[in-house]
Structure 1
Amino acid sequence: MSLASVLLITGGGRGIGAATALEAARRGYAVAVNYRRNAAAAEQVVTEIRLAGGQAVAVAADVAVEAEVVALFEQVDRTLGPLTALVNNAGILETQMRLESLDAARIQRILATNVTGTLLCCREAARRMSTRHGGKGGAIVNVSSVAARTGSPGEYVDYAASKGAVDTLTMGLAQELAGEGIRVNAVRPGFIYTDMHADGGEPGRVDRVKAFVPMQRGGQPEEVARAILWLLSDESSYTTGSFIDVAGGR
């Protein structure tokens, strides 16, 4: 892997995104760390990469906003060069509640980031990487969730539904781009120790539910990152439209 391999990670300032950025840099990628609001967290990841001799930039953009997605990819073009890999990691959830308590505004917020944002980023990546458009190919990894399979009843059915859409996108886009040099795969994390659980109102959620995991523990962001990096690498060169569940057997 050379520094000519350029990776964009959406939501790269914390959790799985940050772990993936750091591991990718160790493997020789030049990394664009996208963030929406937390500039300090993204810059900390970038600083750590640079101190280790890697190449990285932090780029602000809300993936739910089309104009910001377009600007994000254009900035990566200018600062790092031609994109060769994309990790769609940006995702949100909101306070745990049953469907009967949800309103349309919340549902729209979840879908705008988790579904529309992923679609828009895939579009911009395809326009750059597809051999149909003069690109040299590449790889996309979408960060889904085991919730796409379980439905997350009583907590986040809206989030689970959004990740089900990501799974369907992964399957369809993989077939659409397979002949154009682009592989599209997904990882489905289970209960992972990240700050995201605090967004849902329960920072200690993983410790509460880990007894339901066959391996009897929560996962670490680095464990998900390694699966993502395998799917981006040439080691998975004949793998597209596939899913890796990183969920301790759940």
Structure 2
Amino acid sequence: MTQEHAQAPPLGAGLAGRGIVVTGATGGIGVAVARAFADCGARVAAVDLAADEAQALAASLPGDGHVGIGVDLVDVQAHEGLVREAEEAVGPLAALVHLAALLHRKHDVRDVDEADWDAQVDVNLKATFFLNRAFAEALREAGRGGAIVNFSSQGWWTGGFGGSVVYNATKGGIVTMTRGLARTYAADGIRVNSVAPGLVDTAMLSDGLPPERLQALVEQVPLGRMATPEEVAPTAVFLASDHAAYITGATVNISGGWLMY
């Protein structure tokens, strides 16, 4: 006797017609993430420092109802207004996917100065906390659940390679923060998870990293290559969707086997 099984819902279950905020949206991975959510029928608020680039991205996404918003996330006083503006533009928000980050490579740690430290910590760690909180509190006040997906890096575990000690210190902070916020907001039905990509073929990765050094890193990856942004994006969609309804406080490793934990 043939047993019939219900067809599993597609990637992005529960996201069609719902609002998604994507920060760092015009970056290498950010574009792929914004497009992946739009492909699922979500309405994307593409957020980046440059308003014109964010708006151009929004206009290029499949479907309708998308918007591009320019904002400097270092200004934490702007976060509540950003969440309100996004919701007014794309409708009730279901998820925040936070990719915005800054990397200042210094191959000799003696060259790291206070300005390098402050710039990366302010963008990567401080802004993450305050934007996560602003988003979660907006959902809590509205009496509905949702999801936050933060982007960390393989460097949260390894400490990083190629002059990125400060950057990866902030990424370690994001993992710890994600766990703390997951506990904080679980009772409100707000899930908080993070994604830890390994080597992804983007301009940020190659900027300031000698080609021979990059190739040496690629050779350590069991799958033998860098990821494309499009191979990372579906994990963010999954974590924001109904498929991940029982997942919170997790950090998903997407490193081609470079890290195994």
User: TM-score, normalization: structure 2?
Assistant: 0.88
Q: How far apart are the structure 2 equivalents of 1:165 and 1:59?
A: 26
Q: What's the CA shift for 1:172?
A: 0.6
Give the counterpart letter for 2:111 in structure 1: S
In the alignment, structure 1 residue 43 sits paired with structure 2 residue 55: yes
Residue 138 in structure 1 maps to residue 139 in structure 2: no
Match of 1:29 among 42, 59, 64: 42
Matched residue type, 2:178: T
Q: What is the identity percentage for the equivalent residue pairs of Structure 1 and Structure 2? A: 34
Q: Work out the number of aligned pairs and report it.
A: 244
Shift of 1:197: 2.4
Gaps of 5+ in 1: none
Q: Report the 3-state secondary structure (helix = DSSP H, G, I; strand = E; otherwise coil) of the residue aligned with 1:9.
A: strand
1:202 to 209, 212, 215: 209
Tell me the distance in 1 between the aligned counterparts of 2:210 and 2:77.
33
- Partner of 1:78, secondary structure, is helix
Tell me, which stretches of 5 or more residues in structure 2 are unaligned?
1-13
RMSD: 1.7
Secondary structure of 2:217's match? helix
Distance 1:37 1:150 in 2: 32
**Aligned counterparts of 2:179 and 2:81: Cα–Cα separation in 1:** 27
- Is 1:6 equivalent to 2:13 in the alignment? no
> Secondary structure at the residue paired with 2:104?
coil
**Which TM-score applies when normalising by structure 1?**
0.92
Other-structure match for 2:113: 103
* Cα distance in structure 2, aligned partners of 1:30 and 1:192: 26
Change in 2 beyond 3 A, CA 1:129/1:99: same
Alignment of 1:105-124 (within 5 A): 105-124=115-134
* Secondary structure in structure 2 of the residue aligned to 1:212: coil
**SS of structure 1 residue aligned to 2:219:** helix
Paired residue type of 2:57: V
How far apart in 1 are the matches of 2:201 and 2:143? 37
Is the 8 Å Cα contact of residues 142 and 185 (structure 1) preserved in structure 2? yes
4+ residue stretches of structure 1 with deviation over 6 A? none
Is 1:7–1:30's contact at 8 Å kept on the other side of the alignment? yes
**What is aligned with 1:82?**
92
